[in-house]
C-alpha cells in the first residue's frame, strides 16, 4: 500500500518507514554507546589526604560524651525520649542528632564485647564514603564530596528537600527535619566548620578512651590494622584525640578479641570513617556491603543512556523524522478518498 504521492515523489509506506527509523535509531544508539567507552564508571577511591574517624567499639565505655559534644558543636537542640524530658536522649540519629552511641544487648549482658550474654557499643554517624550514594543521588549538588579532605558536606541553600539522599544512603545517615516547614537535611560533616579555630571533630576531641580517634584515614587504617595484629589480652598503647597531629594523649590498655575486619576499609569502595568491633558488624547494625558502590552502577547506567545526550538526540532525530512524515494536519484540504483504504 502506498500513501499519497507528496511533492511528486512516492513515500514508502508506514511500516518500511518505521523500520528505517528504527534502524537509524539503533545505529545511532550503538554508535553512541561504542564511541563512549568511558561511560562505565568505576567505584571511586578515597582522596590521598582523606580525613576521618576510627571508632574502636572495644574501647568505648558508652559515656556518650561524643553525643553531647556533637550536639554542642553543631548547635542542635536536645531530643527527648523519656517522660521527664530532662536530658537529651535521642534514640537514633535524626535531623537534629548527627552522632549517637547505640548498644548491642544479648541475654544476661554479663560481659562487654561478648556476642552471647554480653553487650557492646556502636557509633552511628556519617561514614564519609569514598563513593557516596547521597552525592550521586542529589539532583542539585547540595551533597558534595571535598576533593582534598573527602568530607561529605551538605549545603542547605542548594537543597530542594527531595530526600533522595535519605533514601539512597545504605547507612541511613542523612536525615530530614520533618517537623519544620523549612526543614533541612542533618548529617555529620566531620566538624569541618571548626577546623579554622584549630579544632577537629568534637566527638574525637572529647572521647576519654580514644574509642573515637580523628585523623587522616590512611593513618587511621594503619592504626586499625596494628590493633588487629595484636594478641588479645596483651597490653598496648592507645592514642587519643587527633592521630595525625596534636599532643600525645596516649595510654596503655588491654587488647580485646577483635573481629578480624576493619569495617570501612573496602565497603562501597571504602569509607573514611573506620570501625573495629569484637561483635559481628551486622549484629551491631553495620550492613555488609560489596566493594562496588551502588553509585557507580547507577552512574554507569545514566552515562550509558544519556552521556553527552547522544542517545536521546539520536532517538529524537529518528522520531522527528518519522513523526514529520506521519503527522497530518486536520485542517488541510481532505485528499480524495482512496480505494482500498482501511476504514475505522
Partner 1 sequence: MSALHHARPAPVGGSLFNATTLVCGVLMAVAATIIVVRLFFGLSSTTNVNDGYSWGIWVVVDVFIGSALACGGFCMALLVYIFNKGKYHPLVRPALLGSLFGYTLAGAAITFDLGRWWNFWHIFWPGYFNVNSVMFEVAACITLYIIVMWIEFSPVFLEKLGLQDARRKLEKVLFFFIALGVVLPMMHQASLGTMLVVMGGQVHPLWQTPIQPLLYLLSAIMLGYGVILFESCVAASAYRRHIELSLLNPMAKVMLGIIAVFLVVRLADVAVRGALPEAFRANHVALTFWAENACLLATFVLIGTVEARRNPARLFLAGITVMLSGILLRLNGFLIAFDTGPGWSYFPSVPELLVTIGIFAAEVFGYIYITRRFPVLPREETYAQPAHS
Q: Restricting to residues 261-280, name those near partner 1 by CB under 8 A.
A: none
Per CB under 8 A, the list member of 28, 33, 89, 163 interacting with partner 1 is 163
All residues at 6 or more sequence positions from 26 whose CB lies less than 8 Å from its CB, including other chains: none
CB of 189 to partner 1, least distance (A): 18
Query: With respect to partner 1, which residue has the nearer C-beta, 59 or 314?
Result: 314
End-to-end Cα distance, the chain = 17
Per CB under 8 A, the list member of 26, 156, 228, 229 interacting with partner 1 is 156
Per CB under 8 A, the list member of 53, 67, 137, 256 interacting with partner 1 is 137
The helix, strand and coil proportions of the chain, stated in percent and rounded to the nearest 5, come to: 30, 15, 55
Identify the CA nearest to 172 among candidates 61, 276, 289.
289
Cell, residue 169:
544512603
Considering the rule CB under 8 A, would residue 344 count as an interface residue with partner 1?
A: yes
String marking each residue 209-248 x if it binds partner 1 according to CB under 8 A: ----------------------------------------
Considering the rule CB under 8 A, would residue 105 count as an interface residue with partner 1?
A: no
Query: With respect to partner 1, which residue has the nearer C-beta, 71 or 184?
Result: 184
Per CB under 8 A, the list member of 140, 228, 229, 235 interacting with partner 1 is 140
Considering the rule CB under 8 A, would residue 26 count as an interface residue with partner 1?
A: no
Query: With respect to partner 1, which residue has the nearer C-beta, 109 or 162?
Result: 162
Handedness of CA 234, 237, 241, 243 (dihedral sign): negative
Query: Restricting to residues 177-196, which ones interact with partner 1 according to CB under 8 A?
Result: 177-185
Considering the rule CB under 8 A, would residue 255 count as an interface residue with partner 1?
A: no
All residues at 6 or more sequence positions from 239 whose CB lies less than 8 Å from its CB, including other chains: 210, 213, 223, 248, 249, 250
Residues facing residue 252 across a β-bridge: 237
Distances (CA, A) of 140 to 143, 156, 158: 8, 11, 6
Handedness of CA 146, 151, 154, 157 (dihedral sign): negative
Considering the rule CB under 8 A, would residue 320 count as an interface residue with partner 1?
A: yes
Query: With respect to partner 1, which residue has the nearer C-beta, 194 or 303?
Result: 303
CB of 261 to partner 1, least distance (A): 18
CB of 329 to partner 1, least distance (A): 5
Phi, psi of 34 (to 5 degrees): -70, -35
Euclidean distance between CA atoms 160 and 138, whole angstroms: 9
Euclidean distance between CA atoms 315 and 110, whole angstroms: 66
CB of 77 to partner 1, least distance (A): 15
Per CB under 8 A, the list member of 8, 38, 331, 340 interacting with partner 1 is 331
Amino acid at each position: 500500500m502506498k500513501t499519497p504521492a507528496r511533492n511528486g515523489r512516492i513515500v514508502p509506506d508506514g511500516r518500511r518507514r518505521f523500520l528505517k527509523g528504527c534502524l537509524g535509531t539503533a545505529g545511532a544508539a550503538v554508535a553512541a554507546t561504542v564511541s563512549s567507552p568511558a561511560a562505565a564508571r568505576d567505584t571511586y577511591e578515597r582522596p590521598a589526604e582523606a580525613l576521618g574517624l576510627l571508632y574502636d567499639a572495644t574501647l568505648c565505655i558508652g559515656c556518650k560524651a561524643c553525643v553531647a559534644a556533637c550536639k554542642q558543636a553543631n548547635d542542635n537542640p536536645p531530643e527527648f525520649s523519656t517522660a521527664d524530658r530532662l536530658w537529651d536522649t535521642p534514640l537514633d540519629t535524626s535531623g537534629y542528632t548527627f552522632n549517637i552511641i547505640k548498644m548491642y544487648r544479648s541475654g544476661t549482658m554479663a560481659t562487654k564485647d561478648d556476642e552471647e550474654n554480653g553487650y557492646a557499643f556502636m557509633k552511628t554517624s556519617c561514614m564519609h564514603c569514598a563513593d557516596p550514594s547521597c552525592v550521586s543521588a542529589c539532583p542539585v549538588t547540595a551533597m558534595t564530596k571535598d576533593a582534598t579532605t573527602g568530607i561529605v558536606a551538605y549545603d542547605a541553600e542548594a537543597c530542594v528537600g527531595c530526600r533522595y539522599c535519605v533514601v539512597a544512603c545504605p547507612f541511613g545517615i542523612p536525615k530530614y527535619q520533618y517537623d519544620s516547614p523549612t526543614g533541612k537535611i542533618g548529617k555529620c560533616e566531620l566538624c569541618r566548620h571548626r577546623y579554622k579555630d584549630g579544632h577537629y571533630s568534637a566527638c574525637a576531641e572529647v572521647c576519654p578512651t580514644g574509642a573515637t580517634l580523628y585523623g587522616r584515614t590512611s593513618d587511621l587504617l594503619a592504626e586499625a590494622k596494628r590493633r588487629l595484629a595484636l594478641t588479645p589480652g596483651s597490653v598496648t598503647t592507645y592514642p587519643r584525640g587527633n592521630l595525625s597531629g596534636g599532643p600525645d594523649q596516649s595510654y596503655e590498655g588491654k587488647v580485646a578479641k577483635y573481629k578480624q575486619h576493619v569495617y570501612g576499609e573496602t565497603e562501597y569502595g571504602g569509607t573514611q570513617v573506620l570501625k573495629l568491633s569484637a561483635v559481628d558488624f551486622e549484629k551491631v547494625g553495620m550492613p555488609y556491603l560489596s566493594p562496588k558502590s551502588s553509585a557507580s552502577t547507577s552512574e554507569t547506567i545514566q552515562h550509558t543512556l544519556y552521556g553527552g545526550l547522544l542517545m536521546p538526540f539520536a532517538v529524537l532525530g529518528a522520531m522527528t523524522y518519522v513523526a514529520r512524515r506521519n503527522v497530518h494536519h486536520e485542517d488541510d484540504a481532505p485528499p480524495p478518498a482512496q480505494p482500498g483504504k482501511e476504514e475505522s
